[in-house]
Amino acid sequence: MNRVLNFSAGPAALPFEVLSQAQRELLDFNGTGMSVMEQSHRGKAYETVHMRAIARLRQLMKIPDDYSVVFLQGGASMQFAQVPLNFLSAGQKAAYVVNGTWGDKAIAEAKIVAASRGAEVLLAASSKDAKGSYQSAPLQPLWSVPNEAAYVHYASNETIHGIQYGISDALPSLESRGISTICDMSSDLMWRPINVSDFSMIYAGAQKNLGPSGVTLLIAKRKFLDVGDSRIPKMLQYRTHAEADSLYNTPPTFAIYLVDLVLGWIEQQGGLEAIERLNRNKASAIYGAIEASGGFYRCPVEASQRSVMNVVVRLPDERAEEAFVAQAEQAGFVGLKGHRSAGGIRVSLYNAVTLEAAQRLAAFMTSFAASF
């Protein structure tokens, strides 16, 4: 077996120990004589996994008791529609901060919902530059959000552009102004401790720091879920899933099982404080290689907002970038090509990427620059 060093943006690397355990348990889960995939979602064996995953999330993230933890399907993209369907009623306004592709997609979906029911979507702030790209995120004091807004929505880490809020300060929140703050943390959740009560709702697709694709995590204040629209189909109402402990219908059981294993692995690493230290060291190794390259490598992102999870790197030209990706692949580093809309190189450093892998890539970057 020859496992590569995987720097993909998601689906992304999973901890080796987790994959090994899943392999060991695949055919006979816990002496039940069948796979966890084959168990009824109403049976004891699966229920134990399901409830343990929720309990681990609560404990690792210090989620307050008045918050629900919910597993959904449809990816984070489904949330772009489900959020306004639940919380943007006729006559109301919602505000969106756009600092990249994902914010752009979220506001576009909200506008469709708003138009269909006589609501309004406001652009609270955008950092789109003249070329239609993004190199920074609008700082919270620049957000324009009226007090009567039903909610404000933003993505805390823009996976494609490598722009992250809260690198050296707290994540933005307007909760203290009484404005419900909703955050897409798909590529941000679970690499560091955060203050959950700064948000009315957080959501994240699992396929970065939490597990495989196919399950979306939602953490939301119960009181906030209560105000959600009850005239939309039941499956789309958050309360349906919150009230049923995410067992209203068949959940993605195997994905949730893997999430549970990943959470157990995070516990073993020492929890979120320990994981954060490691992640920051990984990011320092890559940003350090960029800075030491004398301009060969360049990170276009505003220095104070450079993402710890997704490092975007530009080389002198596209030819150099193509050569880098090809040679890196030969050397066992994969998943480094930037998003097709942004170009360049992108190094994703989610939890399962080891410090050693990041250091080895940094060394490769240095030798590539010297030889190019």
Query: Catalytic residue positions?
Result: 102, 184, 208
DSSP-based three-state secondary structure for 112: helix
Is position 57 an interface residue for ligand PMP (rule: CB under 6 A)? no
Q: Facing residues of 126 across strands? A: 98
Is position 186 an interface residue for ligand PMP (rule: CB under 6 A)? Answer: yes
Structure tokens at 87: 């919380």
Decide: is 109 part of the binding site for ligand PMP (CB under 6 A). Answer: no
| Residue selected from 205, 251, 300, 338 as contacting ligand PMP according to rule CB under 6 A | 205
The residue range among 73-81, 190-198, 276-284, 327-335 that interacts with ligand PMP, by the rule CB under 6 A, is: 73-81
Segment contacting ligand PMP by CB under 6 A, of 45-53, 58-66, 70-78, 294-302: 70-78
Told to check if 10 binds ligand PMP by CB under 6 A, we report: yes
CA torsion sign, 281 to 135 to 164 to 325? Answer: negative
Question: What is the smallest separation between the CB atom of 72 and ligand PMP, expressed in angstroms?
Answer: 11
Question: Which of residues 73, 77, 354, 366 is near ligand PMP by CB under 6 A?
Answer: 77
For residue 347, state whether it binds ligand PMP (rule: CB under 6 A): no
Of 69-77, 137-145, 172-180, 231-239, the window that binds ligand PMP (rule: CB under 6 A) is 69-77
- With a CB cutoff of 8 Å and minimum separation 6, the contacts of 178 are 147
Other C-beta atoms lying within 10 Å of the C-beta of residue 168: 6
User: In the structure encoding, which two tokens stand for residue 8, read together?
Assistant: 């993909």
Max Cα-Cα span within the chain: 63
Which member of 89, 127, 173, 187 binds ligand PMP (CB under 6 A)? 187
- Binders in 85-104 for ligand PMP, by CB under 6 A: 102
Residues 159 and 137 sit within 8 Å (Cβ to Cβ): no
Task: Report the nearest approach of ligand PMP to the CB of residue 155 (Å).
Answer: 5
Number of residues that bind ligand PMP (CB under 6 A): 11
Q: Which amino acid is at 184?
A: D
Min CB(66)–ligand PMP separation in Å: 26
Judged by CB under 6 A, the residue of 14, 18, 53, 76 near ligand PMP is 76
Which of the residues 220 through 279 are near ligand PMP (CB under 6 A)? none
Contact 217, 206 (CB under 8 A): yes
Long-range contacts of 88-92 (CB under 8 A, 24+ apart): 88/113, 88/114, 88/117, 88/119, 88/121, 88/150, 88/151, 89/117, 89/119, 89/150, 89/229, 90/117, 90/118, 90/119, 91/118, 91/119, 92/119, 92/120, 92/150
155 binds ligand PMP (CB under 6 A): yes
Site for ligand PMP in 294-323 (CB under 6 A): none
Which stretches within 88-170 are classed as H helix? 101-117
Q: Does 180 bind ligand PMP (CB under 6 A)?
A: no
Q: What tokens appear for 186 in the block?
A: 């798909």
Closest CA to 334 of 343, 324, 342, 344: 324
Q: Which of 99, 127, 140, 159 binds ligand PMP (CB under 6 A)?
A: 159
Residues that bind ligand PMP (CB under 6 A): 10, 75-77, 102, 155, 159, 184, 186-187, 205
